[in-house]
Each structure stands twice: as structure tokens, then as C-alpha cells.
Structure 1
Amino acid sequence: MINGLHAIMFSPQAEQVRAFFADVLGMPSVDAGGGWPIFALPPAELAVHPADGDGYHELYLMCDDIHATLAELRSKGVEVAQEVTDQRWGLLAAIRLPDGSELPIYEPRHPRP
């Protein structure tokens, strides 16, 4: 049956974003061939929400302490693109990737599977 999840991010600056995941976030990887890194991810979960019209997908990083995590990332030169907001389901922020896009990160309040 299902034994994992493979997520793909597309970027016009893929090399810089790969370096960010390796060097700044410290995510281990393997070479899938030809210098293409596949990054190990922490445990994941999947939620399915209703949508009007066509469906879409989102990717969020999760952490135990949003303020400590953002402080550590700032110390590594990471720009916080959206400061922490208090949502019903957790504390939400976003960091800026080297290609200018934003990657949401949150401290969940919901139970974890």
C-alpha cells in the first residue's frame, strides 16, 4: 500500500532553492542521479479541505515552536516573508525562498496523527 509521499516544488531558481534546503534548513538528501538531490522530509500528514471549483495543493513546513524556529532561521539570513499570525488551527508565518517565493511554516494546535 502507500508507504510515503513525494512532493515536488518547481522553481525558476531550482539550484538556489536546493542549496537553501540543504545548507540553511539542513535537510539530508541523496543523489537521485545526475546531481538531482531528493531531500528527506520529517514525518508528514495530509489534510483534504473542500474547494470551490478546481482543486489545488499547498505545502507547509511544521515546527514545535514557531518563534524559536523563525529566530534560528533569521540568524541564518532567512527573510521572514509573513510574520506570525494566530489562526484557529495554529500559529502561521512564511519564509522567503531564494527564488522570491514564500513557503508557509506553522506551529500546529491540532492533534498530530
Structure 2
Amino acid sequence: MGIIIHTTFLPHDDAEAAKAFYGDTLGFEIRNEVGYHDMYWITVGPPEQPDVNIVLHPPGADPATTDAERAMIAEMMAKGTYASIMLASDDLEATFARLVEKGADIMQEPTDQDWGSRDCAVRDPAGNTVRIQQRR
């Protein structure tokens, strides 16, 4: 039995900014867009991995989420401590140059880490940490 990563979720609070970052800046495909009332879900993913998806979702959309929890989520997103994702690139330096060129919110330039990888970090428009490491 093989288990794969199919879909993961990250919150967004601005659909157009999320599509610009994940589509234009990172080069991901916009695969699906679903609206419901004032909420919006966007599915994106790398063209080279058609079976791997990131669903950008409205935070606190679950009806079981309380108003206090929604406020906490909004506060954590604003600080950049709510969610993160680790991506990989065949050419970290070129990827980082593109991030700079597109005006991404840089957290860390490419750095050799103590644990053996080389990576950089940016924040997406919702404050999520996006770390990108060099593929081996």
C-alpha cells in the first residue's frame, strides 16, 4: 500500500493576492476556484506534479469555529505564525531571484542550514511562511 501527498490546505484572506503569489510568483497552476457566499477556495499546484494540490481556503470557514477562534486565527495570520509549507526547487538561487523580482516578502535569503539543506523563506500575502529548499 502506497500513500502519497495529494492535498494540503493553507489559509488565505485575499483571493486575488493569493492567486498572484501562487500563480505568477511561484508559477503554480490555478486548478480550481470555488466561491460560496463571501468565501473563496482556490486550488493550486506545481505543473510538474498534477496530483499534488494546495487548497487556499478562507480561515475559520468551518462552522464549528467560534468567533474567538476566528479572531485568534486572524491574529496569528497577521503575525505569520498560523501556517507554513515547505517547497523545493531544482535551482534555489534562480527561484530566490524570481521571488525578489516579483516583490515577495523575504524572510530569509538562501542559507546553508545546520541540518544539511540550503533554503530560503518568504511570506505569502496571508502571512503564511513559505520555505523553499534546494532539491538534491
* Cα pair distance change 1:106/1:18, threshold 3 Å: same
Task: State the 4+ residue runs in structure 1 displaced beyond 4 angstroms.
Answer: 1-4
| Matching of residue 25 in structure 1 with residue 26 in structure 2 | yes
Q: How many residues align?
A: 96
1:107 and 2:112 matched: no
CA apart distance, 1:93: 1.2
- The normalised TM-score by structure 2 is 0.57
- Choose the corresponding residue for 1:75, options 97, 101, 106: 101
1:39 paired with 2:79, answer no
Between Structure 1 and Structure 2, which shows a larger proportion of strand residues?
2
User: Which residue pairs with 1:89 in the alignment?
Assistant: 116
2:105 and 2:34 mapped to 1: Cα distance?
Answer: 31
Q: How large is the RMSD of aligned CA atoms in angstroms?
A: 2.6
Higher helix content, 1 or 2: 2
Cα distance in structure 1, aligned partners of 2:34 and 2:105: 31
Matched-pair identity in %: 29
SS at match of 2:9: coil
The 1:32–1:100 alpha-carbon spacing in structure 2 relative to 1, beyond 3 Å, is closer
Secondary structure, counterpart of 2:85 in structure 1 = coil
Query: Is the 8 Å Cα contact of residues 70 and 80 (structure 1) preserved in structure 2?
Result: no
